[in-house]
């Protein structure tokens, strides 16, 4: 009981410190900064503004209401994180669902970790925290990775270390952004999975992507069935063996007669004008002489 009373007293002391204009803390080097930064205080929801760098673009209303109901019964178990902007003014870093749910049920304050950081640090904190969530769709995660790479200027290797994911995993998510926007929307709305998306990436033409995407939806294809369909689509069609050109009648008849007379398969090629050539094969020197003698005997 004594511990709980002490904790509450500390909370009230911190809140009083934050409400004192003479103790306005703007950097970690300011007086009393160590009493504020990294500590938890009950902040009024009205003093907290939304995070413009929030990578999340949509919230499921049903799960938000469920969270609001839980907060009404149990309170906010995990504090949100904010950064201090100015006197009695903060900006949300992480915990937007908890923040929205608390406002939904009319709470006036919310437990908050207080941090001091610049915009770049804020973006990185929000994106990294966001990526760790379990309820994000693959496109949201991919966009978060892309923003970290482009706006924080990190490589995929460095990003791998920061978010604790394999580089190959990050690369697979980023490749999803090459899909047609309609396919990406389908993934965000849960019509297809990331596995479907990974299969469709192998189709470069977006029109073909959409054709296969429609087949996935209309036939409720599994990921394996989609992969098989993509392989079939990409496999080169068997080339038709060119038809043997029809020989002129005289050449066709002569080929049969010569082959019979010389006792060897004589090949004749001729064009429509009648110009061509013949090939008389022989097995060895003796066979050649045999054929030659036959030809001479017909003179």
Q: How far apart are CA 135 and CA 31, in angstroms?
A: 40
Percentage of residues of the chain with pLDDT beyond 70: 79
Both 136 and 190 in a single domain? Answer: yes
Task: Report yes or no on 264 lying in a domain.
Answer: yes
Rounded to whole angstroms, the Cα distance separating 100 from 104 reads 6
C-alpha angle 33-38-41 in degrees, rounded to nearest 5: 90
Are residues 28 and 109 located together in one domain of the fold? yes
For residue 240, is pLDDT > 50? Answer: no
Q: Indicate whether 181 and 275 sit together in one domain.
A: no
**Residues designated as active site:** 96
Per-residue pLDDT band for 107 (boundaries 50, 70, 90) equals very high
Whether residue 257 lies inside any domain: the answer is: yes
Residue 261 lies in a domain: yes
For 264, the domain range is 249-297
Instruction: Mark which of 67, 83, 117 sits at the end of a domain.
Output: 117
The reply to whether 228 and 176 lie within a common domain is yes
Are 98 and 15 in the same domain? yes
**Which domain CATH number covers 75?**
3.90.1530.10
**Once rounded to an integer, what is the mean pLDDT over residues 190-214?**
92
Q: Mean of the per-residue pLDDT values for the chain?
A: 79
Return d(Cα 250, Cα 248) in angstroms, integer.
Answer: 6
Q: Is the pTM of this model over 0.75?
A: no
| CATH number of the domain where residue 213 is located | 1.10.10.2830
């Amino acid at each position: 009981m004594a511990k709980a009373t002490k904790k509450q007293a500390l909370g009230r002391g911190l809140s009083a410190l934050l409400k004192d204009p003479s103790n306005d803390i703007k950097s970690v080097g300011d007086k009393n900064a160590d009493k504020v930064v990294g500590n938890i205080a009950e902040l009024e929801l009205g003093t907290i503004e939304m995070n413009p760098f929030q990578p999340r673009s949509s919230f499921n209303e049903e799960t938000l209401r469920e969270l609001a109901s839980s907060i009404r019964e149990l309170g906010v178990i995990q504090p949100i994180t904010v950064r201090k902007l100015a006197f009695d003014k903060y900006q949300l870093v992480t915990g937007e669902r908890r923040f929205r749910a608390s406002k939904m049920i009319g709470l006036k304050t919310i437990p908050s970790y207080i941090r001091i950081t610049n915009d770049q640090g804020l973006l990185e904190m929000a994106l990294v925290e966001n990526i760790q969530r379990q309820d994000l769709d693959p496109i949201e995660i991919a966009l978060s990775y892309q923003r970290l790479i482009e706006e924080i200027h990190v490589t995929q290797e460095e990003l791998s270390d920061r978010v604790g994911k394999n580089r190959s995993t990050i690369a697979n998510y980023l490749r999803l952004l090459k899909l047609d926007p309609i396919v990406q929307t389908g993934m965000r709305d849960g019509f297809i999975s990331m596995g479907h998306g990974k299969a469709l990436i192998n189709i470069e033409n977006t029109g073909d992507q959409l054709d296969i995407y429609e087949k996935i939806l209309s036939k409720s294809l599994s990921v394996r069935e989609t992969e098989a369909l993509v392989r079939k689509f990409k496999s080169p069609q068997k080339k038709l063996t060119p038809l043997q050109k029809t020989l002129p009648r005289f050449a066709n008849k002569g080929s049969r007669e010569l082959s019979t007379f010389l006792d060897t398969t004589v090949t004749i090629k001729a064009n429509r004008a009648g110009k061509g050539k013949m090939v008389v094969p022989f097995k060895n020197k003796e066979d050649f002489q045999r054929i030659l003698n036959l030809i001479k005997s017909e003179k």
